[in-house]
């Protein structure tokens, strides 16, 4: 089997495992990940944090988002453009009305001229279908985060969040894949890239 086929099978297998999780397990593991995340030195120091808004049993980021607001941080989330496979970032507040955008993921409404430049973001909390110990990430195959991190979003600290079963031996990385600096699972933190002050 070639690498492309292996990667596709791994994606299907991991997505199936995540789909079959019960709500209580999603809550319990998300809470454990959140506690570790908000305690990271790089998170405490961050003024602006790029979160994703969870869908389909992804690690729930809402508690961490509320924590960030309470700590006075700026919270930004992506608005995706499926035509160009790119993301723009918008700041959200507790009262920002969110709408279902591409793929049924909640997004802030479009506000021309109000998007936040990626260079202003200190840390990104990154969703994934799977991760490996080197910090490589398997996503839905759209290349959104790879494109973002290899371009304007290059400077921020990248923190992947995952359930235990999403941490695998290898995600069959390709040359364009951008590594995470840190991956957090409910039971531990994986320091993947050389960032001196994490
Ligand atoms: N919460 C969250 N937001 C996110 C991501 C994510 O993984 N999670 N993304 C991370 O990249 C981007 C959206 N990427 C996505 C890419 C494809 C599909 C998707 O549903 N794909 C179809 C496959 C066929 C198709 O292209 O339509 C599928 O899986 O059924 C979903 C999200 C940006 N926002
Ligand atoms: N920096 C980039 N510039 C242009 N195309 C890219 C870049 N990074 C990735 N791509 C393209 O995007 C496609 C999907 O990449 P990949 O399979 O790694 O996505 P993924 O990381 O699983 O998805 P996502 O980030 O959306 O969750 C690939 O065909 C790749 O060629």
Greatest extent of the chain over all pairs of C-alpha atoms, in Å: 50
Distance 11 CA to ligand 2 centre (A): 14
Q: How many angstroms separate the CA atoms of 59 and 34, rounded?
A: 9
Residue 198: pLDDT band with limits 50, 70, 90: very low
Q: Which domains does the chain have, with CATH numbers?
A: 3-189 (3.40.50.10420)
The pTM assigned to this predicted structure is 0.95
Check the annotation: does 44 bind a ligand.
no
Say what the pLDDT of residue 40 is.
98
Tens-digit pLDDT profile for residues 87-105: 999 999 999 999 999 899 9
pLDDT in tens, 122-142: 999 999 999 999 999 999 999
Q: How far is the CA of 180 from the centre of ligand 2 (A)?
A: 15
Mean residue pLDDT across the chain: 95
Q: How far is CA 76 from CA 9, 93, 94, 131, 168, in A?
A: 32, 9, 12, 23, 29
Compute the distance from residue 95 Cα to the ligand 2 centre, in Å. Answer: 33
Report whether pLDDT(197) > 70.
Answer: no
Pocket test for ligand 1, best of 53, 87, 140 (most atoms within 8 A of CB): 140
CA distance linking residue 43 with residue 161, whole number of Å: 13
Pocket test residue of 107, 124, 144 for ligand 1, highest count of atoms within 8 A of CB: 144
**Mean pLDDT computed over 144-158:** 97
DSSP-derived secondary structure for 53-83: PP-TTPPP-HHHHHHHHHTT-EEEEEEEETT
């Amino acid at each position: 089997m070639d690498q492309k086929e292996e990667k596709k099978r791994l994606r299907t297998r991991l997505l199936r495992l995540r789909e079959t999780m019960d709500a209580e397990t999603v809550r319990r593991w998300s809470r454990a990940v959140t506690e570790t995340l908000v305690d990271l030195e790089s998170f405490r120091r961050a003024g602006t944090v790029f979160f994703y808004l969870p869908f389909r049993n992804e690690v729930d980021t809402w508690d961490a988002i509320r924590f960030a607001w309470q700590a006075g941080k700026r919270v930004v989330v992506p608005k995706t453009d499926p035509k160009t496979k790119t993301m723009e970032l918008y700041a959200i507040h507790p009262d920002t009305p969110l709408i279902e955008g591409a793929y049924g993921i909640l997004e802030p409404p479009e506000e021309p001229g109000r998007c936040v430049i990626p260079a202003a973001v200190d840390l990104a909390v990154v969703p994934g279908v799977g991760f490996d110990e080197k910090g490589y990430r398997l996503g839905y195959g759209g290349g959104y985060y790879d494109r973002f991190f290899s371009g304007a979003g290059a400077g921020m600290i990248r923190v992947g969040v995952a359930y235990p079963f999403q941490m695998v031996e290898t995600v069959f990385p390709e040359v364009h894949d951008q590594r995470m600096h840190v991956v957090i699972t409910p039971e531990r933190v994986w320091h993947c890239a050389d960032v001196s002050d994490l």
